[in-house]
Structure 1
């Protein structure tokens, strides 16, 4: 009996010693067998994961098919989810090593575990058990530790289970594009029922650090359009004003002529065109380097006009020069109304920043009616979009703080605001001081005097579609004065690199004094979104005139220059596509 007791003690000692050997940061790392983990929930990376160390990696690293093209050991990928309970969180990865063995680190909270990927076939790799101490949003972070080949690993999905998931888990299950953008939130202001609203005034302040790329802080929304300010990139910000066409389509090229939004005038430095994909209509924007922490003012007018139409005019107050600036004025056909449903919203339009919080403060809302009276708007209804309403993303909030309203979204914060709830801010009591008679009146600028292109020649291009486009595709067609023909970058049997950027170089044969350029997009797919213009007198030394944005339309677009430029050669460099693909098409180029 004594011998048996000693043997039992020996085996117990060995077992405890083995467990302690797996000790890490005062936490025992479990020795995991397949039967130890419950992995009942599959989280697809396409709608829930981001490379958080560098947002530019997201488009190539994470897709609807999972995590692929993962090469850097510095890359940190986080998968977000929300739980309603605490306790054990079991984690596994449906993964493989594309080429050779690699080791990855998996972190939840302050606990990190390592797993080895050594199979070139997909299989569920058990990571281990973590402890969730608070309900709410959490993330699983993965990072490569070592790799024997080019790639760290391929991951189809992340699998979780355990007590922490027993009361439900929130994550994006479908509609990955909208899930990655995050929930949009809105404030609709309560207005008197017996007043015709001629003007709508609002102020927006974006706190420092909340001006995330992809944010649209829409200030003056109305039943037929919207007006606010955006963060378009790390280097560009815009004030944007758009009016929807009454014709229901996502493609502005399909709008019949009598349903098109008519431009009545625009301010200095304002780009105008058409937009699509979220309804269609007329759009205008001014590149303006607004700054977080400053307060910006927006003023919108809406009134019935001729032939059953309505005119909408937008003004933006530049605090640097202490002046109201005209953005644009549009006429909407088949509409006869004053301003309806004044509202604001906050949205993210860039999927790669959908994991980052942004917040805006909206204060001092007023309306001015047709009787000449100002009324302050102090109550608003908080709402959210379909992504929020169906529970795919719950990181949204809004309401009132002091004398301002606020809205916040994305960032995977855990506390949210009840959708369809009403909120009241403190009244300011002092109406805006605006002399409407001093505001710039909209007027149509004179048509540019386009330069003769008879002798111009395309002397260089990155590629052209010599097959598959019928009589189209050649670079020379951008100078034939025919908007129906077009150049198309190579997409089949290409000996040249067919990916962005694409470029065309034009020789005008003699020096030209130019104030702007004409662009006509192809009437169809492969429209270009961003372009750079360079000029030269010798085709050797080039000067960049900057980067510009083209609208999603086949109507002619003029891009004015800040000063007259004199040159013989110019080069158009297509940087990005509207459809996100690698191909480009342009129907016509010119200058004036």
Structure 2
């Protein structure tokens, strides 16, 4: 045993000498060091100077601070909480953002590995680029080199693959920085990566006249060209119990969204007792209604309307006490392209008896992959009408921001007044921000809105549509079904059995079919039908579907899209209306995402209806 110990000691000493020789022979511009770490060990830790020839003081986690800037859609496949993974595309440009309060030399390193083979990457700061070959297959700190920071503020380190010998370019769990430029400290997202990637939300709370009951709230919103970024919600008319504004939901779809919170505190609308539920009193043409969760819960409505940057849109909200200790909220939207006020929806909120309170606006990003892009909204000509039919112009507002901003994790937020207009701006890592809790005054316009209230559409309580008889129908095609693991459930045919407690579930075990989105179901009604929409009942449990597309066909070959829609996170029956009565034999529902963010889908019932 003694001989074996002495032999191991000698081997260790020899390895140490060889490593020391390697250290002294390598160039400081691209030195590979034996700092084997797991992602969990490395992320967010300070780096000892003994591990590197550079002064690498901070480790910035890619999980909360990096984006694939030339492909929003690929961020979820490449950027994870513990770093950069599945990085295979040489065209992907990855940027890591942080803010410095000093200038001077910036030392840069990466905790990186090439999963198989080797690769070459280019790292850029400012106008200087260094290329480094990565050959290590375990995580190690690789010195990239020293760059120059001439201006304090937000900086980014840009990384792109140059060459690769296998499918993967590399995995990165830490972007390391130090040097004179970091002596004053740096700002970056250290935890709570989801909210850090979304970026700070900003708000304007308008000062209202004292001792007045406010019945109507009017606002105008203009989004400058180029500021209409995917994931933006330009909320115009916020109030104590809900919000009303316009969104950029995708590259091809935009919406007008109006929601009212239930007084019952829960994130799951299925948990709301019946007497606490928001009641729909009526909705406009082309408006989808249902329930929402995860940000409180309540009633929600939206209209798909592809509004245009540069045009000004008007929002009008009414709030007044109603029967049995309730309050009715009604939202109207004016688009210059249409030239008339359109009813969005009217909701009744129980256990609430009030006129409008806390008029405000906010700007948020709800797509994490777009958190590196700046968006800006102009909010002008705010007025409220009291119960005595007197208009009051609101020209003073308080600027505030959310916890992401207040914690100092993200400092790219701004808001205030510019002439006769308020503005808000967030995300994109601009360096100048506005003091939180500051007050701002815009120039008064002095001309009250001209609105003929008698011409506004009166909400009417919608009657439930009539579901078509599904006897003899069949599911003729589907992406997958769970033939095991769900008991008597799981089969695609169950969406036609008229029972909301039975459900189809996508394949998740013991099958050769697809596990991932998109999932689809094709229904053959056996003869030509006419319908005004499709009703859905989600599974009373997990795997609720979010984004869907509905298509119809008369021959199962040529398909017509009826649109893309968002199902609500609830097991209550919900109705998706077509823009007009439509004839078909086949209905295809394609599902592209779920509320739980996983790969599986479930559905209890799919039922075309007539109104």
TM range (shorter): over 0.9
Partner of 1:229: 246
Partner of 2:599: 582
1:465 maps to which of 474, 482, 491: 482
1:444 maps to which of 449, 461, 479: 461
Distance (whole Å) between structure 2 residues aligned to residue 53 and residue 513 of structure 1: 44
Partner SS state of residue 541, structure 2: coil
Partner SS state of residue 467, structure 1: coil
Partner of 1:168: 185
Question: Residues 131, 320 of structure 1: CA spacing in aligned structure 2 closer, same or farther, 3 A cutoff?
Answer: same
Partner of 1:404: 421
Partner of 2:275: 258
Partner of 1:338: 355
Note the alpha carbon deviations across 1:81-132, whole angstroms, 9 max, x for none: 0000011111110000011110000000011111111011110001011111
Distance (whole Å) between structure 2 residues aligned to residue 423 and residue 434 of structure 1: 28
Partner of 1:117: 134
1:214 matches 2:223: no
Contact 2:518 2:590 in 1 (8 A): yes
Partner of 2:12: none
Instruction: Compute the displacement of 1:242 (Å).
Output: 0.3
Distance (whole Å) between structure 2 residues aligned to residue 326 and residue 540 of structure 1: 37
Instruction: Compute the displacement of 1:344 (Å).
Output: 0.3
Write out aligned runs for 1:9-88 (5 A): 35-88=52-105
Partner of 1:13: none
Write out aligned runs for 1:506-545 (5 A): 506-545=523-562
Instruction: Compute the displacement of 1:511 (Å).
Output: 1.4
Contact 2:112 2:141 in 1 (8 A): yes
Distance (whole Å) between structure 1 residues aligned to residue 605 and residue 373 of structure 2: 39
Partner of 1:414: 431
Note the alpha carbon deviations across 1:201-245, whole angstroms, 9 max, x for none: 000000000000000000000010000000000000001000000
Distance (whole Å) between structure 2 residues aligned to residue 509 and residue 246 of structure 1: 45
Distance (whole Å) between structure 2 residues aligned to residue 214 and residue 115 of structure 1: 35
Instruction: Compute the displacement of 1:31 (Å).
Output: 7.2
1:378 matches 2:378: no
Q: In angstroms, what is the RMSD of aligned CA positions?
A: 1.3
1:282 matches 2:299: yes
Partner of 2:168: 151
Partner of 1:188: 205
Instruction: Compute the displacement of 1:411 (Å).
Output: 0.5
Distance (whole Å) between structure 2 residues aligned to residue 571 and residue 323 of structure 1: 35
Partner of 1:313: 330
- Aligned structure 1 segments of 4 or more residues deviating by more than 4 angstroms: 29-35
Give the number of aligned pairs: 565
1:202 maps to which of 219, 231, 240: 219
Instruction: Compute the displacement of 1:321 (Å).
Output: 2.6
Partner of 2:317: 300
2:259 maps to which of 224, 228, 242: 242
Partner SS state of residue 466, structure 2: coil
TM-score normalised by the chain length of structure 2: 0.91
Distance (whole Å) between structure 1 residues aligned to residue 310 and residue 52 of structure 2: 54
1:572 maps to which of 583, 589, 603: 589
Instruction: Compute the displacement of 1:469 (Å).
Output: 1.5
Instruction: Compute the displacement of 1:143 (Å).
Output: 0.3
Runs of 5+ unmatched residues, structure 1: 1-21, 23-28
1:390 matches 2:410: no
Contact 2:30 2:142 in 1 (8 A): no
Distance (whole Å) between structure 1 residues aligned to residue 242 and residue 494 of structure 2: 37
Partner SS state of residue 36, structure 1: coil
Contact 2:412 2:431 in 1 (8 A): yes
Distance (whole Å) between structure 2 residues aligned to residue 247 and residue 126 of structure 1: 54
Instruction: Compute the displacement of 1:470 (Å).
Output: 1.9
Instruction: Compute the displacement of 1:565 (Å).
Output: 2.2
TM-score normalised by the chain length of structure 1: 0.94
Distance (whole Å) between structure 2 residues aligned to residue 493 and residue 276 of structure 1: 33
Instruction: Compute the displacement of 1:32 (Å).
Output: 6.0
Note the alpha carbon deviations across 1:287-343, whole angstroms, 9 max, x for none: 111000001000001001111111000000121232111100000001010100000
Partner of 2:5: none
2:148 maps to which of 123, 131, 149: 131
Contact 2:328 2:348 in 1 (8 A): yes
Instruction: Compute the displacement of 1:566 (Å).
Output: 1.9
